[in-house]
Structure 1
Amino acid sequence: MTHRKSPSPTKPELLAPAGSLEAFFAAAEAGADAVYCGLKAFSARAKAKNFSVADLEKMSAAQHAAGRRLYVTLNTLVKERELPELVDTLATLDQIGVDGLILQDLAVWKLAREHFPQLELHASTQMTVHNAAGVKMLERMGFTRGVLARELTLDEITAIRRQTHLELEHFIHGALCFSFSGQCYFSSFLGGQSGNRGRCTQPCRRRYRQRGKDGYFFSPNDLSAIDLLPELIAAGICSLKIEGRMKSAEYVHNVVSAYRMVLDADRKHRQDVLKEAKQLLKDAFGRPPTRGFLAGPTPVDIVSPNLRGATGRWLGNISQVRGRQIGFKTRDLLQAGDRLRIQPASDRPGTAFTVRTLQLGRRPVKQAAAGSQVTVPTPFADRFQVGDAVFKVSSRQAFTLSETACRKRLERISTEPTALNLRILMPDNHSLQLTAELAGIEHTARFAVETFPAKDNPLNRETLRAAFSQAGNNGFRLEQLTCRKLPPVVIPPSRLKQIRREFYAQLAQQLSCRRQNHDSSARQRARRSLLACGEPAGQERRTTLGLGNARDLQILARDGIDRVLLPLSAGNIQGVQQAGRWGRQTERIVWDLPFILPDDQWQQTGELIRTLYEQGFRRFRLGNLGHFPLFDDYPEAELEGSYRLFILNSQAALAWRDLGLSGGMAYIEDDRDNLADLFTRPTGLPLDLTVYASVPLLTSRIPLKNLQKEGGISSDRGDRFRVQQRSGVSILSSETDFSLLDRQQDLAALGVRRLTVDLSHLGAFSPRGKQVLNALQKESPLPNTSVFNFDFGME
């Protein structure tokens, strides 16, 4: 692998998105130090154009030739049947020599670490690494970089930096998710389109209603940290990341240019440059800007419920519709070539088109000034209505390199040459011996030569270097040439040229064979490591009941309840102590750690675990990488994983087992077909499956106190939701719970014998809780529930 100079906190990397070839070249032209992009598979932006392997090879060569870096995102969750394709992808990326893989699924981590160790691994922000312990775990696991959660403050980032040497990357600009990245099930629950599979339909951007008041309650403004670059650098961020693989080349060019200007500005001129850069950002057609959590733990401007969730510059609302024509008063300059998106009042998906012509009254014009009443022909009939909003999402001054031009430009790029060292000697006056060292290969060849006594300018090192530096199209770059004492002779230049061609052709063949053998060997080893399908594991049935409060511990007296899951809190520890004999059944109580654990809660959580350990409790459920170091001093602890530790395939299960889990949980978004594949793999990690729960559609650090107090949130589609606030974490759930209680025989046939019923939101002895337990016992359906993706599949 070709290693490029790594960024440092003193000279941070400006990292740009590329969802298309136009955006890739726009990023390079604007001055990005590195680009991240996705393949057509395994990308968390599956709706972007993305790239083929052949594209990536050329793009990597272009980046490396310019001293820049290329990172590839393999940051989706991988289904069991996709593992062979994942192996092939890793082998190919290893051969190309990309500078890093950005990943979420630990299957990627395990396969890359064991079979393609030269690939550098970056932990995606979708892994929700949000404290120093999580970053330390990444260090232990061999990651070279962690992309921090976007919910951290500058002070929290600074504190993490003091405790780690790992490269830290952070977003500085672009769209924000309401939920912690990787922890949103909103899109999947409403329609099977999983954000963790790159297919988010962005329901958070839609309009919702609470007690007759409409609002975009879950649609954050766009992050813009251009004012905070010195503070981010001082905090220890070495890579400044711009979001936007779904954005246009114009957006990428404008945003990268703005941040490049400010990063390169000297202190004396910084304020003037900053002003100019902010104007560029205004032309990027984003949402209103916010500093997010960087400025503090309670940002007041991160969500504006009265603003539509769409991107672009709002021009006005449609006042007139005639067939394919719309009329409106534009708030901004409008020109032929601009691109508009019409957003219906319901905030259902908008429709975009490019303005070909426009009219002022009956007069056709090329442009219309702000404040003009314009008529714009559209490609659509009967699509738009009076009141729909008009947004400008791109201007005709966009980055002008077309996709065709970009494709031609890419084709002209030569793949990166391989550096070689060359030793030359003449054993006698009639032969020339060459030895090349490159990429772990040493190759020697001897060539017959006809020589002539030198009257002047005899053969020397400079002559040989000039001859062999011309590598032609063989893909080599001569780094160093050494030679022993040469006789005072002359070799005809034509013969040296012929030797060069023949020798480099031999090298190319040797290198190709070695790469193919290496690739084939690593690929075959990785494929052999994949677990074959077998019979479902014969495990005894076990039912775990999730409780919200220790006062319900007496439910352990009920037949068929083997264990309970309790949230780890001081109140519940006290409740267990007061629960009499039920609280002393330490083997039947599993303590569930809070999913989000900021560093300022770390010591307190550690003290709670020590208290429980001293009382004889050994079973704990983990939901984040940052939980593992809490148990460094407790080797006898039995650690289990929640569904937030993603297990969608057998390699991920093996990875979590390697990290110390004694049990795991199948992913809550999963479907019947993939569960069947997963549960027939002998991973050695027993897996539970959630069969009843309130699914946390959004898990956020953004406060929702007003919504919680007033309650009753609904959508235009009739969906209803509830809001909870726990220890600084907001959770949006559907009022329709997830249930597979009537599918227990189906699940048993798949090999699922360990069931988890989560009643933490209901209470075990509430009327609804009793209904659920009755349905569990009778394996009967419950009204007003959803099977989530079980029947119809998760895309």
Structure 2
Amino acid sequence: MDSNLKKFNRNIEILAPAGSYEGMKAAMNAGCDAVYIGGSSFGARAYANNLDEDTLLRAIDEAHIRNKKLYLTVNTLVKEDERLEKLEHFLDRFYERGLDAVIVQDLGVLHYIHKNFPHLPIHASTQMTLTMAEGANLLKDYNVTRIVTSRELSFKEIRTIRDNTDLEIETFVHGALCYSYSGQCLMSSMIGGRSGNRGRCAQPCRMSYQFYSENKRISKGDETYLLSPKDINTVAFIPELIEAGVDSFKIEGRMKRPEYAAAVTSIYRKYVDYYLEYGKEKYQDIVRSDVFNQDMMDLMDIYNRGGFSGGYGKTYNGKKMMSMTRPNHSGVYVGDVVKVEKGQVKIDLKENINSQDVLEIRDGEDKGYEFTSKDPMDAGRILTANTGKAKLKVDLKVYRTKNNSLLDKISKEYIDQDVKQAINGSLYAKSGERLELTISSNNISVTSYQDMVQEATKQPMTKEKLLAPIMKTGESPYYFEKLDVQMGDNIFVPVSWLNEIRREAIELLQENVMDRYRRDLKKDQKEGNITLGHELNKPMGLCVTIQTREQFRAALEVPEVDGIYVSYDMMVYKDILPMAEETVNGGKDFYLVLPYICRLPEYERLNKELPSIIADDNIKGFIVKNMEEVALVTSLTKDKPKEIILNYNMYVYNKEAYEFWREKGITHYSAPVELNYGELKTLGIKDCDMVVYGHQPVMVSAQCLYASTSGCIKQKGVISHNGHLVDRISKKFFVQTNCDSCYNIIYNGQSLSLLKQVSEVKELDPRNIRLDFTFETEDESKKVIKAFADAYIHNKNTSLGMADKTEYTSGHFKRGIE
């Protein structure tokens, strides 16, 4: 064994997607260690073929009999009016059956499950946008045993997490990649009311867009799927993933067919096992082999988007990670059109094809023409295809979008028949003693008995005759790997006894396996009540979030402004304390708004710069946008307390979430922007800031639209506001590029304005109303502030009066989300 491997030689879990019961069994047959699957409610794939309650209970037993684990997705945000008590009724039977873990995004759901299902392990979903151990460790007191890292992390960042937490690490290794950080995307929600945070994403990232900078289009005409990343394939990086400390290799794909789950699982099982057995040097050899190349071709045939990328492990971002000419399955290139005749084309094959393969002659973005091959044919030959009246031309590329032979092979190996579990047995058959069969599997041993064995009156039993009925395990999930026999010399045992003792032993083994996982909910359950928010006697305040010095001056000049929230990303460090002093001298409170994403470089910068800021008495507090910032600010302010406000992207959707944060010492929140008036009223937002104006972020992405179109602009220290996307119906989305931290924020082109909903907002009685400025000039900012001050404080009828900004939206205040 490779000497360097000993350090990393541990059990590596292959975690497969299961969009159906059939998909679950296919993945298990292909060698996964665990599956993740959705039930009828609370899952992030609302449109998958999720399991009903009885089928899910059967699936839990099936997994345990096969020595596998089953994790249930409970990874959506839950509104207060949906009542978390429904979650208890949803989970109770699964908990008692032995469910291995739940995958959770909502911190209120996490808090509720920990309180009511105390022995149920919780996995923190990638939707929590966890990027560092410091954030993850905040969850350890709530029975969180594993984190699913953000997909954007490098191997180095994962290794840093591994070095700073004892939580298990789960990382996506294969499948679809979101353009936005998971949990930070509101695009589907804002466009059509289908929230990705609720399992109903309409995938606007797979739609067509054009990108403009300085009002000039810089995206190419045939590269319109600007937000569509390639799927990731990390088989070549298995050594790096294991050495980085990843415990669970997660395969994306609950919306895909069972053949997909089986094929991808089998290949990752094969190569993880190979690395663990032979080490890195030999692994590098096999990656260069024809066998490896064929396996990668099979993965391409199963599903790819313009090929694969290796993900973010070694690549920060860039055009090579994007599939901008086609957003769905691209298939595999198999040949070129070399001749066009009336009703026919000749295709020069570059790859072997099979009978019943689906082939597509493709003209750019359009399909062109699709047909099914009749016979197999080798590469190098000319295929003649009847194309009818289709308008085709020479040099068009031909792709295979369905490899029928491969799908048949997968079905035969992993779907049509089950892989059985090995058991060992011992049969004891001696005259005058009871017939006895002991079988064992996974440290569980059971014994079944029959009547007294008789002496043979005619021909005695042979060992072979004793073994034959016992070995016939039939449709049970087991086969005998080893079966010992202790028998007398002159005995007779009826075949019916042997069949019966085998059936009883196998049933007893299954019962014992399942019983090992059973729980008693009433015995385990704790009692607990939710502490509701405290009443505030102070009148509703007016706070303003600013990103420029011009907006800062506008906020300072309006006396009704109570607090100024200054974007840390947008300011020069040396200017922050003078701005704070100026703010306090103007009779207002000064807060710093921290970045949306806090990865290792940002964390180190904040850890270096914040202590001197915290020491200043003019700093009232911080608006935090992720768990890492909560951990850092909480730690740095122990000796000099500052107020911590959760931004709305921290998703406080229910009172259990309030309770979670109160236990962390945080009592000031921001009202969720996806909830409507009625839902906010049910939640209660007396402890919340409520955003009533501003362009709302719909995506935060590690990708850069400049880098993937015209090329990186390489402007360190510059925040660009000059780009915008236009979708297929001419809807605008503004793009903000942060070159220091290398990420993009995409904003809704329509600004939120609740200037006409004053009475409803006042009825909700938030702690503060908040105006978020992004691209506004000083004059525009001043007009907006005065308009909202007149309406909300002085009870005047008013309008924004900005002729060039006529498009406003009330967001979800009236409509809400699914």
Matched, 1:721 2:729: no
**Separation in 2 of the partners of 1:344 and 1:529?**
63
Q: Report the counterpart of residue 777 of structure 1 in structure 2.
A: 790
Q: Report the counterpart of residue 120 of structure 2 in structure 1.
A: 119
1:750 to partner: Cα distance:
3.6
Matched, 1:634 2:637: yes
Alignment map for 1:77-156 (pairs within 5 Å)? 77-82=77-82, 83-156=84-157
1:327 to partner: Cα distance:
10
1:124 to partner: Cα distance:
0.6
**Separation in 2 of the partners of 1:407 and 1:270?**
28
Matched to 2:772, the amino acid is D
**Separation in 2 of the partners of 1:776 and 1:522?**
53
**Separation in 1 of the partners of 2:198 and 2:809?**
20
1:336 to partner: Cα distance:
7.4
Matched to 1:767, the amino acid is E
Matched to 1:777, the amino acid is D
1:10 to partner: Cα distance:
2.5
Indicate conservation of the 8 Å contact 1:330/1:374, yes or no.
no
Matched, 1:274 2:292: yes
Q: Secondary structure at the match of 1:723?
A: strand
Q: Report the counterpart of residue 657 of structure 2 in structure 1.
A: 652
Matched to 1:280, the amino acid is D
Matched, 1:219 2:225: no
Q: Report the counterpart of residue 546 of structure 2 in structure 1.
A: 547
- Closer/same/farther in 2, CA of residues 42 and 151 from structure 1, 3 Å limit: same
1:251 to partner: Cα distance:
1.4
Q: Report the counterpart of residue 195 of structure 1 in structure 2.
A: 196
Matched, 1:792 2:808: no
Q: Report the counterpart of residue 417 of structure 1 in structure 2.
A: none
Q: Report the counterpart of residue 773 of structure 2 in structure 1.
A: 759
Matched to 1:758, the amino acid is D
Matched, 1:38 2:38: yes
**Separation in 2 of the partners of 1:744 and 1:344?**
54
**Separation in 1 of the partners of 2:384 and 2:783?**
63
Indicate conservation of the 8 Å contact 1:550/1:576, yes or no.
no
Matched to 1:722, the amino acid is F
- Closer/same/farther in 2, CA of residues 584 and 343 from structure 1, 3 Å limit: farther
Indicate conservation of the 8 Å contact 2:558/2:786, yes or no.
no
CA RMSD of aligned residues (A): 4.8
Matched to 2:657, the amino acid is A
Moved more, 539-548 or 331-340: 331-340
Matched, 1:745 2:759: yes
Q: How many residues align?
A: 682
Indicate conservation of the 8 Å contact 1:71/1:98, yes or no.
yes
Indicate conservation of the 8 Å contact 1:664/1:687, yes or no.
yes
Indicate conservation of the 8 Å contact 1:9/1:238, yes or no.
no
Indicate conservation of the 8 Å contact 1:342/1:389, yes or no.
yes
Same amino acid, percent of matched pairs: 28
1:486-508 deviation line (CA, Å, top 9, x unaligned): xxxxxxxx9xx9xxx9xx99xx9
Q: Report the counterpart of residue 679 of structure 1 in structure 2.
A: 684
Q: Report the counterpart of residue 54 of structure 2 in structure 1.
A: 54
Alignment map for 1:161-176 (pairs within 5 Å)? 161-176=162-177
- Closer/same/farther in 2, CA of residues 338 and 679 from structure 1, 3 Å limit: farther
**Separation in 2 of the partners of 1:342 and 1:125?**
38
- Closer/same/farther in 2, CA of residues 277 and 705 from structure 1, 3 Å limit: same
1:554 to partner: Cα distance:
6.0
Indicate conservation of the 8 Å contact 1:185/1:698, yes or no.
yes
1:137 to partner: Cα distance:
2.1
**Separation in 1 of the partners of 2:816 and 2:363?**
30
**Separation in 1 of the partners of 2:392 and 2:765?**
55
Alignment map for 1:399-418 (pairs within 5 Å)? none
1:652 to partner: Cα distance:
1.5
**Separation in 2 of the partners of 1:674 and 1:692?**
19
**Separation in 2 of the partners of 1:303 and 1:45?**
23
- Closer/same/farther in 2, CA of residues 641 and 102 from structure 1, 3 Å limit: same
Indicate conservation of the 8 Å contact 1:35/1:71, yes or no.
yes
1:645 to partner: Cα distance:
0.8
**Separation in 1 of the partners of 2:397 and 2:751?**
35
**Separation in 1 of the partners of 2:37 and 2:410?**
19
Matched to 1:396, the amino acid is N
1:285 to partner: Cα distance:
2.1
Indicate conservation of the 8 Å contact 1:99/1:119, yes or no.
yes
**Separation in 1 of the partners of 2:405 and 2:586?**
70
Matched, 1:666 2:680: no
1:736-783 deviation line (CA, Å, top 9, x unaligned): 1122222121222344453111013325x2336524642553365663
Indicate conservation of the 8 Å contact 1:14/1:32, yes or no.
yes
Q: Secondary structure at the match of 1:766?
A: helix
1:201 to partner: Cα distance:
1.1
Matched, 1:23 2:23: yes
- Closer/same/farther in 2, CA of residues 629 and 535 from structure 1, 3 Å limit: closer
**Separation in 1 of the partners of 2:183 and 2:811?**
18
Q: Report the counterpart of residue 257 of structure 2 in structure 1.
A: 248
Q: Report the counterpart of residue 204 of structure 1 in structure 2.
A: 205
1:261-291 deviation line (CA, Å, top 9, x unaligned): 1112235473445334323212222121111
Alignment map for 1:511-660 (pairs within 5 Å)? 518-519=520-521, 529=529, 540-549=539-548, 552-553=552-553, 555-568=555-568, 571=572, 574-577=575-578, 581-584=582-585, 588-616=589-617, 617-630=619-632, 631-635=634-638, 636-660=641-665
Q: Secondary structure at the match of 1:101?
A: strand
**Separation in 2 of the partners of 1:11 and 1:250?**
25
Q: Secondary structure at the match of 2:321?
A: coil
Matched to 1:146, the amino acid is I
1:347-395 deviation line (CA, Å, top 9, x unaligned): 9xx99x9x9x958xxxxx4678887564689xxxxxx999999976544
**Separation in 1 of the partners of 2:121 and 2:233?**
28
- Closer/same/farther in 2, CA of residues 566 and 285 from structure 1, 3 Å limit: same
**Separation in 1 of the partners of 2:179 and 2:49?**
25
Alignment map for 1:232-631 (pairs within 5 Å)? 232-265=241-274, 266-267=278-279, 268=282, 270-271=286-287, 272=289, 273-287=291-305, 288-299=307-318, 301-305=320-324, 307-313=325-331, 365=374, 372=383, 374=385, 393-397=401-405, 518-519=520-521, 529=529, 540-549=539-548, 552-553=552-553, 555-568=555-568, 571=572, 574-577=575-578, 581-584=582-585, 588-616=589-617, 617-630=619-632, 631=634
Indicate conservation of the 8 Å contact 2:542/2:789, yes or no.
no
- Closer/same/farther in 2, CA of residues 662 and 406 from structure 1, 3 Å limit: same
- Closer/same/farther in 2, CA of residues 138 and 519 from structure 1, 3 Å limit: closer
TM-score, length basis structure 1: 0.75
**Separation in 1 of the partners of 2:266 and 2:372?**
31
Indicate conservation of the 8 Å contact 1:250/1:394, yes or no.
no
Indicate conservation of the 8 Å contact 1:316/1:390, yes or no.
yes
1:643 to partner: Cα distance:
0.7
